[in-house]
Structure 1
Amino acid sequence: MELPIDHFRLLGVNASSDRQSVLRTLQQRLDRIPDQGFTQDTLQARAELLEASADLLSDETRRQAYERELTAIADNANGSIAALEIPPSREVGGLLLLMEAGQSQEAFDSASRGLQPPQAPALGSSREADLTLLAGLACQGTARDYRDQRRYEAAALTLQQGLQLLQRMGQQAEQRRKLEQDLKELLPYRVLDLISRDLSASGSRQQGIVLLEQLVQQRGGLEGHTDLTFPQSEFQPFFKQIRQFLTAQEQVELFSRWGDSGSATADFLASFALTASGFSQRKPERILEAYERLKNSGQPGIEVFLSCQQLLLGQVDEAERLFDEGADAALKQWAMEQGDDPLARLCAYCRDWLTREVLEGFRDIDVDANLDAWFADRDVQAYIDQQDRIRGRQFNAKPSLEVPGATDTSTAFGDWPSFDLPGSNEPPTALETVEDQDDADDELWDGPRWRLPELQWPQLGNLQERLQGLPSWGMPVGAAVAVVVIGLGGWMALKPRGGELETASSDKVAALVQPEAAAPAAPAAPAQSAPFPLTDPDPSATQLQELLEAWLKEKAAVLAGGAPSESLADLARPDQIQRLQRQNQANRQRGATETVSTSITGFKISARSPVRIAAQVAMTYSDELKTSGGKVLSSTPEMTLRNTYIFGRQNGSWQLVAYKPTAKN
Structure 2
Amino acid sequence: MRIPLDYYRILCVPAKATTAQITQAYRDRLSQMPRREHGALAIEARNRIIEQAFDVLSQTESRAVYDHELSGNLFRSLVPSRPKLPFPDHAVSGPPEIDPHQPTIAIEERDFLGGLLLLLDLGEYELILKLASPYLRGKGKQVKGGSLGDPDLVNPELRLCLALAHWELSREQWLQQHYELAATSGQAGQTLLADADLFPELREEIQAELNRLRPYQILELLSLTDGETAERKRGLAMLQDMLDARGGIDGQGDDKSGLGIDDFLRFIQQLRSYLTVQEQLELFVAESKRPSAAATYLAVYGLLGAGFSWRQPQLVLQAQELLERLGQRQDVYLEQSICALLLGQPDEANQLLEQSQEQEAITYIREQSQGAANLLPGLCLYGETWLKTEVFSHFRDLRQRRDDTAVSLKAYFADLEVQQYLEGLPIAPPPEPETAPTQPQAAIAATVAPEVNPAPLPSRPEKVTSFEALVSESAPTMVPDVSPGVMTPPSPPEPEPVIETAETGPSHRSFSVPFLAIAVALGAVVALVGLVQLITRSPSQETASNGPTVTTPAPEPETPVEPPPPEAPIIENENPTPILDEAIATEVIENWFTSKSQAFGPDHDLTALENILTNPSLAEWRSRAQQVRDAGHYRTYEHSLTVESFNFDPSQPDVATVEAQVQEKANHYRGNGALDASQSYDSSLQIRYSLVRQDDRWLIRSSQTL
Q: Please give the alpha-carbon distance, in whole angstroms, between the structure 1 residues aligned to 2:20 and 2:13.
A: 11
Partner residue in 2 for 1:504: 627
Match among 372, 391, 413 for residue 462 of structure 2: 413
Partner residue in 2 for 1:250: 279
* Amino acid in structure 1 at the alignment position of 2:386: W
Partner residue in 2 for 1:308: 338
Classify the secondary structure of the residue corresponding to 2:65.
helix
In the TM superposition, what is the alpha-carbon distance from 1:93 to its structure 2 partner? 0.6
Question: CA 1:298 to 1:337, structure 2 compared with 1: closer, same or farther past 3 Å?
Answer: closer
Q: Please give the alpha-carbon distance, in whole angstroms, between the structure 1 residues aligned to 2:237 and 2:218.
A: 9
1:460 is aligned to 2:481: no
Partner residue in 2 for 1:426: 484
Equivalent pair of 2:22/2:54 in contact (CA under 8 Å): yes
Deviations 1:559-597 (A, max 9, x none): xxxxxxxxxxxxxxxxxxxxxxxxxxxxxxxxxxxxxxx
1:188 is aligned to 2:206: no
Equivalent pair of 2:380/2:522 in contact (CA under 8 Å): no
In the TM superposition, what is the alpha-carbon distance from 1:329 to its structure 2 partner? 6.1
Match among 157, 160, 168 for residue 141 of structure 1: 168
Q: Please give the alpha-carbon distance, in whole angstroms, between the structure 2 residues aligned to 1:477 and 1:62.
A: 76
Q: Please give the alpha-carbon distance, in whole angstroms, between the structure 2 residues aligned to 1:380 and 1:292.
A: 24
In the TM superposition, what is the alpha-carbon distance from 1:81 to its structure 2 partner? 4.6
Equivalent pair of 1:282/1:374 in contact (CA under 8 Å): no
1:33 is aligned to 2:33: yes
In the TM superposition, what is the alpha-carbon distance from 1:273 to its structure 2 partner? 2.0
Deviations 1:364-400 (A, max 9, x none): 313338899523327853123212443599xxxxxxx
Question: CA 1:392 to 1:42, structure 2 compared with 1: closer, same or farther past 3 Å?
Answer: closer
Classify the secondary structure of the residue corresponding to 2:259.
coil
1:386 is aligned to 2:420: yes
Q: Percent identity?
A: 26
Equivalent pair of 1:282/1:377 in contact (CA under 8 Å): no
Question: CA 1:112 to 1:457, structure 2 compared with 1: closer, same or farther past 3 Å?
Answer: farther
Equivalent pair of 2:426/2:509 in contact (CA under 8 Å): no
Partner residue in 2 for 1:272: 301
1:151 is aligned to 2:178: yes
Partner residue in 1 for 2:320: 291
Q: Please give the alpha-carbon distance, in whole angstroms, between the structure 2 residues aligned to 1:9 and 1:250.
A: 53
Q: Please give the alpha-carbon distance, in whole angstroms, between the structure 2 residues aligned to 1:298 and 1:457.
A: 25
Q: Please give the alpha-carbon distance, in whole angstroms, between the structure 2 residues aligned to 1:348 and 1:378.
A: 14
Q: Please give the alpha-carbon distance, in whole angstroms, between the structure 2 residues aligned to 1:211 and 1:323.
A: 40
Equivalent pair of 2:248/2:290 in contact (CA under 8 Å): no
Classify the secondary structure of the residue corresponding to 2:71.
helix
Equivalent pair of 1:191/1:212 in contact (CA under 8 Å): yes
Question: CA 1:302 to 1:137, structure 2 compared with 1: closer, same or farther past 3 Å?
Answer: same
Partner residue in 1 for 2:351: 321
Equivalent pair of 1:414/1:426 in contact (CA under 8 Å): no
In the TM superposition, what is the alpha-carbon distance from 1:7 to its structure 2 partner? 3.6
Q: Please give the alpha-carbon distance, in whole angstroms, between the structure 1 residues aligned to 2:243 and 2:554.
A: 38
Question: How do residues 232-631 of structure 1 correspond to structure 2 at under 5 angstroms?
Answer: 232-295=261-324, 300-327=330-357, 332-340=362-370, 341=372, 342-354=375-387, 357-364=390-397, 365-368=399-402, 374-377=408-411, 380-391=414-425, 413-414=462-463, 416=465, 420=472, 423-427=481-485, 429-431=487-489, 460=514, 462-463=516-517, 464-470=519-525, 471-473=527-529, 474=532, 476=553, 480=571, 498-499=619-620, 501-502=623-624, 503-507=626-630
* Amino acid in structure 2 at the alignment position of 1:374: S
Deviations 1:103-157 (A, max 9, x none): 1233255444434443555888332343343334333322222222222222211
Question: How do residues 7-46 of structure 1 correspond to structure 2 at under 5 angstroms?
Answer: 7-46=7-46
Match among 87, 91, 98 for residue 119 of structure 2: 98
Equivalent pair of 2:426/2:508 in contact (CA under 8 Å): no
Q: Please give the alpha-carbon distance, in whole angstroms, between the structure 2 residues aligned to 1:392 and 1:35.
A: 73
Question: CA 1:120 to 1:31, structure 2 compared with 1: closer, same or farther past 3 Å?
Answer: same
Structure number having the greater helix percentage: 2
In the TM superposition, what is the alpha-carbon distance from 1:462 to its structure 2 partner? 2.0
TM-score by structure 2 length? 0.58
Partner residue in 1 for 2:65: 61
In the TM superposition, what is the alpha-carbon distance from 1:328 to its structure 2 partner? 5.5
Deviates more, 1:1-10 or 1:58-67: 1-10
Q: Please give the alpha-carbon distance, in whole angstroms, between the structure 2 residues aligned to 1:154 and 1:392.
A: 55
Classify the secondary structure of the residue corresponding to 1:360.
helix
1:202 is aligned to 2:260: no
Q: Please give the alpha-carbon distance, in whole angstroms, between the structure 1 residues aligned to 2:287 and 2:190.
A: 31
* Amino acid in structure 2 at the alignment position of 1:106: L
In the TM superposition, what is the alpha-carbon distance from 1:35 to its structure 2 partner? 4.9
Equivalent pair of 2:175/2:628 in contact (CA under 8 Å): no
* Amino acid in structure 1 at the alignment position of 2:211: K
In the TM superposition, what is the alpha-carbon distance from 1:344 to its structure 2 partner? 1.3
Q: Please give the alpha-carbon distance, in whole angstroms, between the structure 1 residues aligned to 2:135 and 2:216.
A: 31
Classify the secondary structure of the residue corresponding to 2:291.
coil
Question: CA 1:260 to 1:15, structure 2 compared with 1: closer, same or farther past 3 Å?
Answer: same
In the TM superposition, what is the alpha-carbon distance from 1:212 to its structure 2 partner? 1.5
Question: CA 1:47 to 1:75, structure 2 compared with 1: closer, same or farther past 3 Å?
Answer: farther
TM-score by structure 1 length? 0.61
Listed as ranges, the gaps of 5+ residues in structure 2 are 83-98, 428-458, 473-478, 491-505, 533-551, 556-569, 573-613, 635-693, 697-706
Match among 220, 225, 228 for residue 252 of structure 2: 225
Equivalent pair of 1:412/1:423 in contact (CA under 8 Å): no
In the TM superposition, what is the alpha-carbon distance from 1:239 to its structure 2 partner? 2.2
Classify the secondary structure of the residue corresponding to 2:514.
coil
Question: CA 1:113 to 1:219, structure 2 compared with 1: closer, same or farther past 3 Å?
Answer: farther
Deviations 1:296-341 (A, max 9, x none): 5665322321221221233322322322344466654443223232
Q: Which structure has more RCO (C-alpha within 8 Å, separation ≥ 6)? A: 1
Listed as ranges, the gaps of 5+ residues in structure 1 are 394-409, 433-453, 482-493, 512-607, 611-665
Classify the secondary structure of the residue corresponding to 1:223.
coil
Q: Please give the alpha-carbon distance, in whole angstroms, between the structure 1 residues aligned to 2:126 and 2:13.
A: 21
Equivalent pair of 2:246/2:252 in contact (CA under 8 Å): yes
Equivalent pair of 1:223/1:265 in contact (CA under 8 Å): yes
Question: CA 1:455 to 1:85, structure 2 compared with 1: closer, same or farther past 3 Å?
Answer: farther
In the TM superposition, what is the alpha-carbon distance from 1:44 to its structure 2 partner? 1.9
Q: Please give the alpha-carbon distance, in whole angstroms, between the structure 2 residues aligned to 1:13 and 1:226.
A: 51
The alignment of Structure 1 onto Structure 2 pairs a total of residues equal to 464
Deviates more, 1:324-333 or 1:234-243: 324-333
Equivalent pair of 1:351/1:370 in contact (CA under 8 Å): no
Equivalent pair of 2:337/2:349 in contact (CA under 8 Å): yes
* Amino acid in structure 2 at the alignment position of 1:163: Q
Partner residue in 1 for 2:89: none
Question: CA 1:377 to 1:155, structure 2 compared with 1: closer, same or farther past 3 Å?
Answer: same
Question: CA 1:74 to 1:22, structure 2 compared with 1: closer, same or farther past 3 Å?
Answer: farther
Equivalent pair of 1:278/1:286 in contact (CA under 8 Å): yes
Classify the secondary structure of the residue corresponding to 1:359.
helix
Q: Please give the alpha-carbon distance, in whole angstroms, between the structure 2 residues aligned to 1:456 and 1:71.
A: 93
In the TM superposition, what is the alpha-carbon distance from 1:187 to its structure 2 partner? 1.0
Q: Please give the alpha-carbon distance, in whole angstroms, between the structure 2 residues aligned to 1:215 and 1:292.
A: 28
Q: Please give the alpha-carbon distance, in whole angstroms, between the structure 2 residues aligned to 1:103 and 1:203.
A: 34
Classify the secondary structure of the residue corresponding to 2:628.
coil
In the TM superposition, what is the alpha-carbon distance from 1:272 to its structure 2 partner? 0.6
